[in-house]
Amino acid sequence: MAYINENYLKLPGNYLFAEVARRVAAFRSEHPDAEIIRLGIGDVTLPLPAVSIEAMHAAVDEMAKKETFRGYGPEQGYDFLIDAIIERNYASHGLKVERDEVFVSDGSKSDCGNIQEIFSSDAVVAITDPVYPVYLDTNVMAGRTGALGADGRFEGVVYLPSTEENGFAPALPDRPVDMIYLCCPNNPTGTTLSRAELAKWVAYARENDAVILFDAAYAAYITEPDVPRSIYELDGARDVAIEFRSFSKTAGFTGTRCGYTVIPKSVTAKAKDGSRHPLNALWSRRHSTKFNGTAYIVQRGAAAIYTDEGQKQVAANIAYYMENARIIREGLSALGLSVFGGVNAPYIWLKTPKGMPSWTFFDKLLREANVVGTPGAGFGPCGEGYFRLTAFGGREDTEKAVARIREKLHV
Ligand SMILES: *Cc1c(COP(=O)(O)O)cnc(C)c1O
């Protein structure tokens, strides 16, 4: 008799984007002539950098010849990519990362989702609220939580509210936790944690023998000097933090797939007998058992962004999105709305006017301005009363959407 993993039954349906699509379709059928602009996109829209395309074409040609064909590669990634990652993102900033501390993968969603496997099944998980749903859902699937309560929170999970009141810098947990997920710059709020705020978390993790799971998928969007690009910029983080990075938002690899995880060998956790073990060795074991490496062709495309020309091309694409972010942020502030994010991240998190529920604001924005965004409530209970717009659209659409919101939205 095969029984299912009943933890899966605790998860609600993938309600958020399905409900957005349903409401947009209903509006469209009632107003077939309305020109709807989508500022809810969580995906890049610009094509891959030319350097990546060239490198991938060359890699395809290598695959066509017996002499240069490649079969299975190292599970952890090719040295040419790992060395380029270390040089550009760590060594050149004075940060020490060794080759066997970097694990190349098919993206951060997999890594952020799979990392929980190497922790005990009774570990206590802390997540910020609102949050990128992967951290929470994968722990629900693994049985680290109880049921979903009427308040929208899973039993046993420690939620860390991130709101306007605390400047989107959550307070330390009020009870002991073991795994702490932090995303900076943040999706969905677009906000960041300062060096001082992050130092607080590193100190907490060191004192409480916890591990920080630091998602830096948007590191390349940081413009302000006080926001760390890597958690390893903080003293002591090499003993308590794992860092996730991705080529998706940095270089348009959302469909091409490449990311990496850094696990310093000095990050350890206890076995029940009290002995301490490096998490690097556990992840290495998991990676080589369950993963067979990212495609050689893709790794060549990813490595190309670390050339001088590649860095220029990537910066140009990010600048394009960040100009969209500026247009949205300034346009909505001028309307008197409270707007957060959009300075170090391609997300703008706005407070709905007059405390309106986020789904009510969704309908209002769609009806009055024909603009689609994402209701904050979909990212966690503390997202209620907020709304996410993204800077990943085209320039013309972004400008048109903001102009329309300013003319037509009654706030
Ligand atoms: C987009 C995103 C990622 C990256 O996912 P990939 O699987 O690498 O495409 C990771 N974390 C957050 C918060 C994201 O928004």
Q: Atom 4, ligand 1: which residue's CA is nearest?
A: 108
Evaluate: CB of 254 within 6 angstroms of ligand 1.
yes
AA letter at 71? G
Secondary structure (3-state) at 183 = strand
pLDDT at 250: 97
Atom of ligand 1 nearest to the CA of 254: 9
- Check if the beta carbon of residue 117 is closer than 8 Å to that of residue 289: no
For ligand 1, whether the C-beta of 107 sits within 6 Å is yes
Residues of the chain with pLDDT under 50: none
Cβ proximity of 359 and 24 under 8 Å: no
Strand 259-262 relative to strand 241-246, pairing: antiparallel
Q: Which pLDDT does position 103 carry in this prediction?
A: 98
Task: Pick from 215, 344, 347, 349 the residue to mutate for probing ligand 1's pocket: most ligand atoms within 8 Å of its CB.
Answer: 215
In tens, the pLDDT along 359-410 reads 999 999 999 999 999 999 999 999 999 999 999 999 999 999 999 999 999 8
Confidence (pLDDT) at 13: 82
d(CA 31, CA 211): 51
Q: Please, what is the Cα angle at 118 between 117 and 124, to 5 degrees?
A: 80
Which ligand 1 atom lies nearest to the CA of residue 110? 7
pTM: 0.97
Residue 248 Cβ inside 6 Å of ligand 1? The answer reads yes
The pLDDT value given to residue 59: 98
- What is the reported pLDDT for 14? 77
Q: State if residue 109 touches ligand 1 by the CB under 6 angstroms criterion.
A: yes
The CB of 375 under 6 Å from ligand 1? The reply is no
Instruction: Pick the residue whose CA is nearest to atom 15 on ligand 1.
Output: 187
CB distance 216 to ligand 1 below 6 Å? no
- Compute, in angstroms, the gap from residue 217 CA to the centroid of ligand 1: 6
d(CA 383, CA 379): 6
